[in-house]
Structure 1
Amino acid sequence: MIVLRNVSRVFNTSAGPVTAVDDVSLEVGQGQIYGIIGYSGAGKSTLIRLLNGLEKPTAGSVTIAGQNIATANGEALRAARLKISMVFQHFNLLWSRTVSENIAFSLQIAGAPKAQIQARVKELIELVGLAGKENTYPSKLSGGQKQRVGIARALANNPEVLLCDEATSALDPQTTDAILELLLDINRKLQLTIVLITHEMHVVRKICHRVAVMEEGRIVEEGEVLSVFTHPQKPVTRQFVKQTTEYSSADTPFNAALVDGDAGSVLKLTFVGHNTSQPIVGELTLKYALPFNILHGKMTQTAHGTFGELWLQVPASGAQLENILADLHARAVTTEVVNHD
């Protein structure tokens, strides 16, 4: 559905050329929810403008639904943009129009018949959960309701791709989760391809199939969400993954440095999929007749599976510790020795 090949965007400024997007290549499959995450200045906003044709790449190609957006002009570009819609961080609603009128606006611009507009607006209001708010003005809506209007408006012309530019960053955590559930529901019902630009790993964890991590204009890491969460390779990715631990006030980040190092080795275990329900620690306790002290643990749910992290302390070293690590490896449990006794 979306293919970027060696895409760069360089801006000429008074201080010299600035590379906002640097040789980026990625693919987004039909019906995928794809997350692009990075801190401010990473190049995310420029990348999304390249996807909808608001920016032209300095080099490379941007192909969406078979159309090269990078070279399209005039009528070809307008036709390509009909397949792409956008949801914004700050809603961008027309304050003088009601919910129904906001949703109808893009259909009116496209010249759709009045009866078709009315039927489509009614359908979308039901889809995004705004029944009863048809005649309400934006000033009377909550942030989450405003974003639901924005999503409905973006879907009005039946796009093939939905771009979400920090669509939840202006919302509180509870409302964020509700909007993410709505996007997931829309993806399932319509098989719509969704690209999410965000700086929040919670957003990626909640609904994305794949994720690309951007830093200084480049994609430094890319892959399936579960794989990236359980085996982050780059420092910036590991920093983002930590957000999921700190997202809920119920989580207590674990600090291995505070553990008594004289009581044994501290191990960090990462379980994926069915391993999260296996009695692996109990089996090790029986096999080695050692007290495996559980220091901290948590489970994390992604759109495509669960993974768990568990910190243990065990009075073992040398060959015995190596045997324990080999047993864990044989059970497909990723293990890291945090410190030794």
Structure 2
Amino acid sequence: MIELKKVTKKFDTGKAVLTAVDQVDLSIADGEIFGIIGYSGAGKSTLIRLLNGLEKPTSGTVEINGKVITSIKGGELRKARQKVSMIFQHFNLLWSRTVKENIEFPLEIAGVSKAQRGKRVQELIELVGLSGRENAYPSELSGGQKQRVGIARALANDPEVLLCDEATSALDPETTDAILDLLVDINKRLGLTIVLITHEMHVIRKICHRVAVMEGGRVVELGDVLNVFQSPKEEITKRFVAQVTDSGDSQETIKNLRELYPTGELVKLVFVGEQTEQPILTKLIRSHSVEVNIVQGNISHTQRGAYGTLILQLKGSPGEMEEALAFLHSEDVQTEVMHND
């Protein structure tokens, strides 16, 4: 569906040449919800603009649905862009137009008849949950309702790809979750490919199938969201994962836990998928002569399954402790004895 090969984008500021995107290779599958996460300046906003042809790469190619966006021009490019829609952080609605008229706008530009426009707009209003608000103006809507209008407008021309540029950053947590649920529903109903950029790992965790982590214009980590949560490799990825897992493995946290639980060993367990539903601790307590105290833990849910972390205080003889850890390994549970560096 989407293929980026050795894509680089440089900007000449007059004083220096800034490399915003640096040798990026990405493949995004048809119907996938793909997340791109990074802090400010990582290059993610530039990357998403390369996907819809708003920016041309300095080198490399961008291919969408078999069309090399980087090599087409004029009418062919405009036609290709109609299949790649975008929603924005600040909604970008026309304030002098009603909800209905905002959604209708891209259909007017495309030359769709009035009768067809009316039918399509009503379908989209129902799809995004705005029935009864057709004649309201943007100033009369909440932030979440404005974003629903933006989503409906982006879907007007039946795109194959929906780009989301920090689409929930201006919303409160409850509204953010509602908009993310809507995007998942749209993805399932329409088979739409969704590419979103964000600096919030909660967004990635909740709806994405795969994620690319960007830093300094490069993709430094790429993979299935569940795998990235389970085994983040780069320090930046670990910081993002910690936003939502609160896994308790920072040195400060370990020090505090050690002060609270000075005896025995602190052991971090990682459960993935079906493991989160298994009575592994019950088995451990029943079959091994170790004292088990649950210190802290949580479970996060992703589109690919659940991911959980648990920190235990284990007490016992060295032999008993070794057997207990071996048992956990035999149950395919990741274990790590937590030490202060």
Letter paired with 2:134:
E
Tell me the residue number matched to 2:278.
278
SS in 2 for 1:23: strand
Q: State whether residues 289 and 316 of structure 2, in contact with CA within 8 Å, keep that contact through their aligned partners in structure 1.
A: no
Tell me the residue number matched to 2:71.
71
Aligned 1:234-313 pairs, distance under 5 A? 234-245=234-245, 255-259=253-257, 260=259, 262-313=262-313
Q: CA, structure 1 residues 67+78, in 2 after alignment: closer, same or farther (shift >3 Å)? A: same
How far 1:2 moved relative to its partner? 0.4
Query: How many angstroms apart in 1 are the aligned matches of 2:305 and 2:69?
Result: 34
Q: Point out the more displaced range, 282-291 or 6-15.
A: 282-291
Corresponding position: 1:193 with 2:193: yes
How far 1:24 moved relative to its partner? 0.4
Q: State whether residues 46 and 55 of structure 2, in contact with CA within 8 Å, keep that contact through their aligned partners in structure 1.
A: yes
Aligned 1:99-178 pairs, distance under 5 A? 99-178=99-178
Corresponding position: 1:26 with 2:26: yes
Q: Point out the more displaced range, 173-182 or 322-331.
A: 322-331
SS in 2 for 1:157: coil
Query: How many angstroms apart in 2 are the aligned matches of 1:102 and 1:328?
Result: 57
Query: How many angstroms apart in 2 are the aligned matches of 1:44 and 1:317?
Result: 51
SS in 2 for 1:339: coil
How far 1:80 moved relative to its partner? 1.0
Letter paired with 2:255:
A
Listed one character per residue, the Cα deviations across residues 92-131 of structure 1 (whole Å, up to 9, x for unaligned) are 0000000000000000000001100000000000000000
Query: How many angstroms apart in 2 are the aligned matches of 1:220 and 1:321?
Result: 37
Letter paired with 2:105:
F
User: Aligned Cα RMSD in Å?
Assistant: 1.6
How far 1:316 moved relative to its partner? 4.1
Unmatched 5+ residue regions in structure 2? Answer: none
How far 1:326 moved relative to its partner? 2.3
How far 1:318 moved relative to its partner? 4.4
SS in 2 for 1:174: helix
Q: Point out the more displaced range, 280-289 or 147-156.
A: 280-289
Q: State whether residues 265 and 316 of structure 1, in contact with CA within 8 Å, keep that contact through their aligned partners in structure 2.
A: no
Tell me the residue number matched to 1:205.
205
Q: State whether residues 291 and 315 of structure 1, in contact with CA within 8 Å, keep that contact through their aligned partners in structure 2.
A: yes
SS in 1 for 2:71: coil
Q: State whether residues 10 and 58 of structure 1, in contact with CA within 8 Å, keep that contact through their aligned partners in structure 2.
A: yes
Letter paired with 1:174:
E
Query: How many angstroms apart in 2 are the aligned matches of 1:316 and 1:65?
Result: 60
Q: State whether residues 36 and 195 of structure 1, in contact with CA within 8 Å, keep that contact through their aligned partners in structure 2.
A: yes
Letter paired with 1:257:
K
SS in 2 for 1:181: helix
Tell me the residue number matched to 2:54.
54
Aligned pairs, number: 335
SS in 1 for 2:211: strand
How far 1:201 moved relative to its partner? 0.4
Q: Percent identity?
A: 60
Tell me the residue number matched to 1:9.
9
Letter paired with 1:82:
Q
Q: Point out the more displaced range, 124-133 or 315-324.
A: 315-324
